[in-house]
A and B are shown apart, each in its own frame.
Chain A
Amino acid sequence: MCRPYPSQKTPDQGCLPQGHSAIFACTDPETLSGLSWLTCYLTTGKHLAFYGAFGTVLLLLAITAPAAMAFGFGGAMAARSRILPVSWLGRGYIAVVRGVPDIAFFLFFVIALDQGIEYLRHKIKCPDWTEPLRQGSDFIVCQAAKMPLGNSPQWVHESYGFSLAVLTFAIVFGAFAANVLYGAMRAVPRAQLETAEAYGMSPRQTFWRVLVPQMWVYALPGLGNLWMVLIKATPLLFLLGVEDIVYWARELGGAKTPRFTDYPHPDWRMWYFLALLVFYLCFTRVSEIVLDRVMRKLTRGQATSGGEAQRKALT
């Protein structure tokens, strides 16, 4: 592949080095200095991948937040269930995830989910396989059950890794969300439910028509908190083997010698991580402001102490 210089009329005069932005004339970095060097340095292909990784983080948040809510809702419903084993399952899910360091869960689930999926595929695709799956220190499944298949392209491997990460996040944060929602469901005044029963609603109708619409006011502070926690947990993607911002910051910041790159520089990892720190600070600050606004909107006119304080402030 060869891209011509933007200013050239004829393409045969040479081409841009691979991975450079065409906007800047970054052909010969050794002649550059000061700001133009920095501009060129910050637009190399690897840096563009680094900026793309911020998109990965946002994508993870966008997918994980609803997924965790779904897990949380399921967990809270299970914990409230009148069937005892289901209720134990829900409570156990909430209790276990809360009691153990989260990072241990992240490391555990990624391997466990991977092996679980491969085990299921193995059972379905190779039913006549007789050897044991665990041989010493190896976990062996038949070729057809490998996930993803050995001959699949790179992007399949990457998106498989990413979806495992999303599922792991959803399971762990689902437990936190379940705890918040469970508490919110119990905070809805008992009289409301009794009234619904008095009108002859079935438990299912009571749950969906009376309990669920009313619980959100009680759940919102906890869920907002959870969102902040979720933002701050995104760097853990690095531990799950996804090429995220932490990965790129380490890669790009490390000392580079002129032999391997056009842009030699000493160890700059400190500055890269400072940039990440600032990114997260801005992100949490903006979320905080938005959540505050949402909360103020929602408490308006509610019969809670927050709503009462708003009413008093107005008069």
Chain B
Amino acid sequence: MSCWETVQAYGLRSLGIGERLLPRNDFTLCDQFTLIGSGMIWNVYFGFFALISGFVFATALGFAKAQPSPWVRKPAEWFIFIFRGSPLFIQFFFGYFLFLSLKSVHPFFDAFTSAWLGALVVLFFNTSAYSAEIFYGALQSIPKGDTEAADAYGMSGWPRFKRIIWPTMLRLAWPAYTNEAIFLFHATTLVFFTGFPALQQRGDALYYASYFADKTFNPFVPYPILAMYFILLTLVIIGVFGAINRRLNRHLPQDQIRKIRLRPNLIR
């Protein structure tokens, strides 16, 4: 099989399109590149949708945590504590078995036991909690002068939030939020190693990489390929988030703009 034929056969294998049987012997480099790349579709899918939906919820949570009323603040604090204080690995397991039990109660939960929705929900909650903590921290460090200026202009309620508080919070939180996004994409590799089954061997990039490592007893080819894909993905994220960062800071003098710095400490 030429390499192009392999790409045609396995390029969308992770979605169940194309050749059904995975290669069983005589693995070529092309096989490994194609299948692991095909698995990246899932990583991007999970990361992208969890990030978008998590962003909205995290904003709400971050503001809820900053409220003086304990009826609003306490639930937000507990939510953030639970999802930041326990390992994502255990959360995936718990979520899967929870959905499994709910499935026997009501058929509505059928879809939640498969990875495309169930794992997405868990990731959504997890990234919401982490981002909410970042947003909360940014809210606390909004310069006092900004809010005082808003008050002086007679702004209150929605306009004050929309035009002053929210943009400033985003601007301050953005470097940390970029890191959160990068590690969210890294965390998507856990999905198929927890309870969630990879039906008909439709897995993510790490699933295929470990498949090859198991079959060939040679970890020195598939894992570096996986690493290469993830470094590329990380560079794309840094590019996109850097552009947004520049846009959020476009009104500031050049030397005041916070640089995005990669920080390593986030395994969930």
Instruction: Please name the residue on chain B nearest to A229 by beta carbon.
Output: B267
In the bound assembly, the distance between CA atoms of A226 and B265 in angstroms comes to: 6
A101 near B230 (CB under 8 angstroms)?
yes
Residues 195-241 of A contacting B (Cβ, < 8 Å): 222, 225-226, 229, 231-236, 238-239
- Interface size, A (range): 35 or more
Using A107-B213, A107-B223, A233-B87 as known contacts, say yes or no to A273 and B186 having CB atoms under 8 A apart. Answer: no
A281: chain B residues within 8 A (beta carbon): 81-82, 85-86
Tell whether B266 is near chain A: CB-to-CB under 8 Å: yes
Q: Which of A98, A111, A139, A235 sits near B90, CB closer than 8 Å?
A: A235
12 further A-B pairs in the complex, CB-CB below 8 A; given A99-B230, A103-B189, A139-B217: A104-B209, A104-B230, A107-B209, A107-B223, A111-B219, A137-B217, A176-B264, A180-B265, A249-B93, A269-B93, A273-B90, A274-B94
Tell whether B201 is near chain A: CB-to-CB under 8 Å: no
Task: Name 29 A/B residue pairs within 8 A (Cβ), A-sorted.
Answer: A99-B230, A99-B231, A99-B234, A100-B226, A101-B206, A101-B226, A103-B193, A103-B206, A107-B209, A107-B219, A108-B223, A112-B220, A115-B219, A139-B217, A232-B86, A232-B88, A233-B87, A233-B267, A234-B87, A238-B89, A246-B89, A246-B93, A270-B94, A273-B90, A276-B94, A277-B91, A280-B85, A281-B81, A281-B82
Classify the interface of chain A: helix, strand, loop or mixed: helix
Instruction: Please name the residue on chain A nearest to B262 by beta carbon.
Output: A98
B89 near A111 (CB under 8 angstroms)?
no
Tell whether A28 is near chain B: CB-to-CB under 8 Å: no
Tell whether B268 is near chain A: CB-to-CB under 8 Å: yes
* B 200-236 to A, binary, CB cutoff 8 A, 1 in contact else 0: 0000001001100101111110010011001100100
In the complex, what's the smallest C-beta–C-beta distance from A174 to chain B, in angstroms? 12
B25 near A273 (CB under 8 angstroms)?
no
Using A99-B227, A107-B223, A226-B265 as known contacts, say yes or no to A232 and B97 having CB atoms under 8 A apart. Answer: no
In the complex, what's the smallest C-beta–C-beta distance from B134 to chain A, in angstroms? 14
A139 near B218 (CB under 8 angstroms)?
yes
In the complex, what's the smallest C-beta–C-beta distance from B114 to chain A, in angstroms? 17
Tell whether A297 is near chain B: CB-to-CB under 8 Å: no
Using A102-B186, A104-B189, A270-B100 as known contacts, say yes or no to A284 and B85 having CB atoms under 8 A apart. Answer: yes
Residues 171-193 of B contacting A (Cβ, < 8 Å): 186-187, 189-190, 193
B193: chain A residues within 8 A (beta carbon): 103, 239
In the complex, what's the smallest C-beta–C-beta distance from A29 to chain B, in angstroms? 24
By a beta-carbon cutoff of 8 Å, the part of chain A in contact with chain B is 96, 98-104, 107-108, 111-112, 115, 134, 136-139, 175-176, 179-180, 222, 225-226, 229, 231-236, 238-239, 246, 249-250, 253, 267, 269-270, 273-274, 276-277, 280-281, 284-285
A137 near B100 (CB under 8 angstroms)?
no
Count contacts between A and B, CB distance < 8 Å: 126
In the complex, what's the smallest C-beta–C-beta distance from B184 to chain A, in angstroms? 11
Classify the interface of chain B: helix, strand, loop or mixed: helix
A235: chain B residues within 8 A (beta carbon): 87, 89-90
B216 near A137 (CB under 8 angstroms)?
yes
B87 near A280 (CB under 8 angstroms)?
yes
- Interface size, B (range): 35 or more
In the complex, what's the smallest C-beta–C-beta distance from B212 to chain A, in angstroms? 10
B190: chain A residues within 8 A (beta carbon): 103
A100 near B217 (CB under 8 angstroms)?
no
* B 255-267 to A, binary, CB cutoff 8 A, 1 in contact else 0: 0000000101111
B265 near A176 (CB under 8 angstroms)?
yes
Using A270-B94, A273-B94 as known contacts, say yes or no to A285 and B85 having CB atoms under 8 A apart. Answer: yes
List the 3 closest pairs (A to B, CB-CB), nearest first: A101-B186, A270-B97, A273-B94
- For A96, A229, A232, A239, which residue has the most chain B Cβ atoms within 10 angstroms? A232
